[in-house]
Amino acid sequence: MTQAYIFDMDGTLFKTHLILEPALEATFTELRKQQLWSGATPLQVYREIMGVPLPVVWQTLCPHLSTEQQKQANRFFQLALIDEIESGRGSLYEDVETTLTRLAQDYPLHIASNGNLPYLEAIVKTFQLQYTFTSVHSIDAIASGNKSELVQSILDDFGYTNAIVIGDRLSDFKAAKDNNLSSVGVDFDFAQIEELKQADRVIKKFSELLIG
């Protein structure tokens, strides 16, 4: 019996691609000013790795930068993302609000994301999701950066013995399997066919969560 739903954020609830390009462009414009980058902004590379922990993002995008420079770039990027969200340029996927409202009538809902907590809180506040979700959890709280451990911490903190993990990337499905949970893959913008094969179920519309 399902006791809770645990949701990823980027590419699952939130249309990250709407704010990704301007925030990433702003970040690499800053890196160019500091003479830490030349050439085009690696937007496509970032799209391909969406969902991985942020340290991995910057190691992939800017492997030539020092660890401190990568952290600095990430801090700038996070502020740029939050500015985009608070300026109203982001959006939830279709049917997310109505579906979550329905589910919350019967189950506790949680967010487990690789995003930084201030970023997640900006989305939650902007779209008033605090009235739907029991809690919001960032990978920042897990020293290992392992999403399986993040999901486990939710199970432990709330005493759940069962839950469904909903996400779009392999880390979500692995987190479910590692904790003996079921998973639902959303076939949205950043999902990859090979990774979706690891999900127990795949949906193309968010409202399909209410079916079956």
CA 122/CA 103 separation, integer angstroms: 22
Which pair of structure tokens corresponds to residue 116?
A: 């930084």
Residues 6+ apart with CB under 8 A from 81: 19, 20, 23, 119, 122
* Cβ–Cβ < 8 Å for 112, 135: no
CA 158/CA 148 separation, integer angstroms: 16
* Cβ–Cβ < 8 Å for 137, 114: no
The dihedral over CA atoms of 200, 204, 207, 210, expressed in degrees to the nearest 10, equals: -20
Q: Give tens-digit pLDDT for 114-164.
A: 989 999 999 999 999 999 999 999 999 998 889 999 999 999 999 999 999
Q: Decide which of 3.40.50.1000, 1.10.760.10, 3.90.1150.10, 3.40.250.10 is the CATH code for 5-15+91-210.
A: 3.40.50.1000
Provide the whole-model pTM.
Answer: 0.91
The pLDDT-based confidence of 1 (bands split at 50, 70, 90) is low
From 83, 86, 92, select the one nearest 26 (Cα to Cα): 83
Q: Give tens-digit pLDDT for 57-83.
A: 999 999 999 999 999 999 999 999 999
Q: Give tens-digit pLDDT for 81-122.
A: 999 999 999 999 999 999 999 999 999 999 999 989 999 999
